[in-house]
């Protein structure tokens, strides 16, 4: 979303997700933290800045968290003390709250109701107001994350159980959230009434249950009987027991994030009952129908655009091939001391396969064009490799508006399609033609014209963001 406190130095031309969450409850209590670790590893694509796991043995809670990738934060020595029947975990990309150790999750508190740990994927648009209310009530906040605000509100809520306190507190939370809560003897999960972020639950064959942001993590752990947690639903897992409590969904209807299909989710996940991989192929097919062009080869920008390029090739009859090879070991880097080195970033991430490009009219399939920092260098790379024409095709509509629901899209000033027409974008990027998929085409590929958030394309938000946008405008964040 619009990030007021964080300024990353190396933003790619991609929107960035906030977090992944995992929750595990086992009747045997064996290797619960290890299961959470493997689940977080499967969710690493959702956040690479920090990771953490909290466990409870029924009497006390323990936690380990730090900045870095999951495999950097955890090893055998750090996992060994995390013994218990119940565990939650988190892998983080910062939106609200700076990228720092103090904002790493889960948040662990001792409350009058007992131990509470919380991990959260999403963003509250009214977090600043809620934080101010807590400060006025005398609460001491140690971090700048909206997750801490949610944890403190739950700690202060009345009710006989965490489920009761969640249900009473949820109406105060405006925005996107899929969260897992660790109590002394259970894991509780909830999804916001609009259903912005994904969340699913599955049963472990050896006993117990797992809750995760994506089904790919549940499949990694061998779960069966996988089902999606409904918008507004509260799910409790306690060993072999699972209970589900429905709360009213949003009166404005569902607002599932369409970018989960376009880019965020792993292709082997299911989201809203649909295969992500299959939807991405249909996005490519629709793009070929809407924006066909004579060419010799279709190539993807790896990796997320591969299924769409296959779909485009299949629909158009133009051969699919690899044209770019990605260095998958290039992650975030904050050591870029000069403009010349920043300009080499694309070359660090991609090499061109000249033998598949030389003398060819090339269609390049990419999933999004957000800040416009990557497309131009990629087009130049392909032309330098010998392509005679480069036609850029994008499997999402132009991103014209910021996201306020937990996705780091950028500000209006950063969103290049908000400033330039498609013809101007084409000249800016240096390609021979440029086309985007329409909103209607994207929704047709997903399989529903309703229930999805398209605010970053249309500016039509399911939740009133007027106050937040006015605040951002006053701060000079948006124009």
pLDDT in tens, 163-200: 999 999 999 999 999 999 999 999 999 999 999 999 99
How far does CA 408 lie from the centroid of its chain?
Answer: 9
Q: How confident is the model at residue 100 (pLDDT cuts 50, 70, 90)?
A: low
Tell me which H or E stretch contains 51: strand 50-56
Tell me which H or E stretch contains 359: none
Q: How far is CA 173 from CA 35, 115, 225, 246, 327, in A?
A: 30, 22, 30, 17, 40
Q: What is the pLDDT of residue 333?
A: 43
Dump the DSSP string for 258-314. THIIIIIS-TT-EETTEEHHHHHHHHHHHHHHHS----SEEEE-TTTTHHHHHHHHH
Any idea which residues carry the catalytic annotation? 19
Cβ-contact 213, 257 below 8 angstroms: no
Cβ-contact 16, 404 below 8 angstroms: no
CATH topology of domain 279-448: Rossmann fold (3.40.50)
Q: How confident is the model at residue 479 (pLDDT cuts 50, 70, 90)?
A: very low
Smallest Cα–Cα separation from 213: which of 274, 277, 270, 278? 270
Residue 402 to residue 455: CA distance in whole angstroms? 8
Residue 448 to residue 437: CA distance in whole angstroms? 16
Give the number of other CB atoms < 10 A from CB of residue 165: 22
Report whether CATH 3.30.110.60 matches the domain 19-254: no
Smallest Cα–Cα separation from 27: which of 63, 62, 57? 57
Spell out the residues 6+ positions from residue 275 whose beta carbon is closer than 8 angstroms to its own.
none
Residue 192 to residue 40: CA distance in whole angstroms? 21
pLDDT tens digits along 381-420: 999 999 999 999 999 999 999 888 878 777 888 899 999 9
pLDDT tops 60 at residue 216: yes
Residue 275 to residue 98: CA distance in whole angstroms? 33
Cβ-contact 149, 127 below 8 angstroms: yes
The tokens describing 176, both together, are 């996107």
Q: How far is CA 442 from CA 263, 315, 390, 408, in A?
A: 13, 15, 23, 21
Q: What is the pLDDT of residue 152?
A: 94
pLDDT tens digits along 102-113: 778 999 999 999
Give the number of other CB atoms < 10 A from CB of residue 475: 10
Residue 266 to residue 179: CA distance in whole angstroms? 19
% residues pLDDT > 70 (the chain): 88
Give 142 or 95, the one with higher predicted confidence. Answer: 142
% residues pLDDT > 90 (the chain): 72
The tokens describing 26, both together, are 């086992």
Residue 36 to residue 203: CA distance in whole angstroms? 14
Q: What is the pLDDT of residue 142?
A: 78
Q: What is the pLDDT of residue 449?
A: 85
Residue 105 to residue 120: CA distance in whole angstroms? 8
Q: What is the pLDDT of residue 144?
A: 75
Cβ-contact 407, 456 below 8 angstroms: yes
Q: What is the pLDDT of residue 133?
A: 92
How far does CA 206 lie from the centroid of its chain?
Answer: 30
Residue 72 to residue 410: CA distance in whole angstroms? 28
DSSP category for residue 318: P
pLDDT tops 60 at residue 478: no
Domain with CATH 3.60.20.10 in the chain: 19-254
Residue 181 to residue 166: CA distance in whole angstroms? 10
Angle between helices 146-156 and 127-136 (to 10 degrees): 50
How far does CA 477 lie from the centroid of its chain?
Answer: 22
Smallest Cα–Cα separation from 353: which of 385, 310, 391? 385
Cβ-contact 393, 299 below 8 angstroms: no
Smallest Cα–Cα separation from 40: which of 32, 307, 29? 32
The tokens describing 469, both together, are 């946008």
Kindly report the average pLDDT of the chain as a whole number.
88
Q: How confident is the model at residue 331 (pLDDT cuts 50, 70, 90)?
A: low
Find the range with the poorest average confidence among 212-226, 300-314, 380-394, 404-418. 404-418
SS3 410: coil
């Amino acid at each position: 979303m619009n990030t007021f406190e964080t300024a990353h130095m190396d933003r790619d031309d991609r929107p960035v997700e906030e977090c992944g969450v995992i929750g595990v409850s086992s009747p045997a209590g064996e290797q619960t933290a290890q299961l959470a670790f493997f689940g977080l590893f499967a969710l690493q694509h959702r956040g690479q800045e920090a990771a953490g796991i909290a466990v409870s043995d029924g009497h006390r809670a323990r936690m380990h968290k730090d900045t870095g990738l999951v495999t950097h934060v955890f090893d055998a020595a750090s996992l060994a003390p995390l013994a218990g029947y119940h565990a939650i975990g988190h892998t983080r990309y910062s939106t609200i709250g700076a990228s720092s150790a103090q904002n790493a999750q889960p948040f662990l508190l001792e409350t009058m109701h007992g131990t509470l740990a919380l991990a959260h994927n999403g963003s509250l648009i009214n977090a600043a107001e809620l934080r101010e209310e807590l400060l006025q009530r005398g609460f001491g906040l140690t971090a700048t994350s909206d997750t801490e605000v949610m944890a403190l509100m739950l700690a202060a809520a009345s009710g006989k159980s965490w489920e009761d306190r969640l249900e009473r507190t949820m109406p105060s939370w405006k925005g996107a959230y899929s969260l897992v809560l660790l109590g002394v003897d259970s894991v509780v999960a909830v999804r916001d009434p609009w259903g912005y972020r994904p969340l699913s639950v599955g049963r472990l064959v050896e006993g117990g249950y797992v809750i995760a942001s994506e089904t790919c993590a549940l499949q990694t752990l061998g779960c069966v009987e996988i089902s999606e947690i409904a918008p507004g639903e509260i799910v409790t897992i306690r060993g072999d027991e699972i209970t589900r409590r429905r709360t009213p969904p949003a009166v404005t209807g569902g607002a599932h994030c369409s970018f989960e299909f376009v880019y965020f989710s792993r292709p082997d996940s299911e989201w809203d009952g649909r295969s992500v991989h299959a939807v991405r192929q249909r996005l490519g097919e629709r793009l070929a129908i809407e924006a066909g062009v004579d060419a010799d080869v279709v190539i993807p920008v790896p990796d997320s655009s591969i299924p769409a390029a296959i779909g485009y090739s299949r629909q158009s009859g133009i051969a699919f091939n690899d044209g770019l090879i990605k260095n998958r070991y290039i992650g975030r880097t904050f050591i870029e001391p000069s403009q010349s080195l920043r300009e080499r970033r694309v070359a660090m991430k991609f090499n061109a396969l000249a033998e598949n490009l030389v003398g060819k009219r090339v269609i390049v399939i990419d999933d999004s064009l957000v800040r416009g920092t990557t497309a131009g260098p990629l087009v130049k790379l392909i032309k330098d490799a010998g392509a005679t024409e480069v036609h850029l095709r994008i499997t999402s509509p132009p991103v014209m508006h910021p996201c306020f629901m937990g996705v780091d899209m950028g500000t209006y000033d950063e969103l290049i399609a908000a400033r330039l027409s498609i013809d101007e974008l084409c000249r800016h990027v240096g390609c021979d033609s440029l086309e985007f998929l329409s909103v209607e085409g994207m929704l047709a590929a997903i399989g529903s014209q309703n229930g999805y958030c398209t605010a970053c394309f249309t500016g039509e938000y399911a939740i009133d963001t007027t106050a937040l946008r006015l605040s951002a405008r006053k701060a000079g964040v948006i124009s």
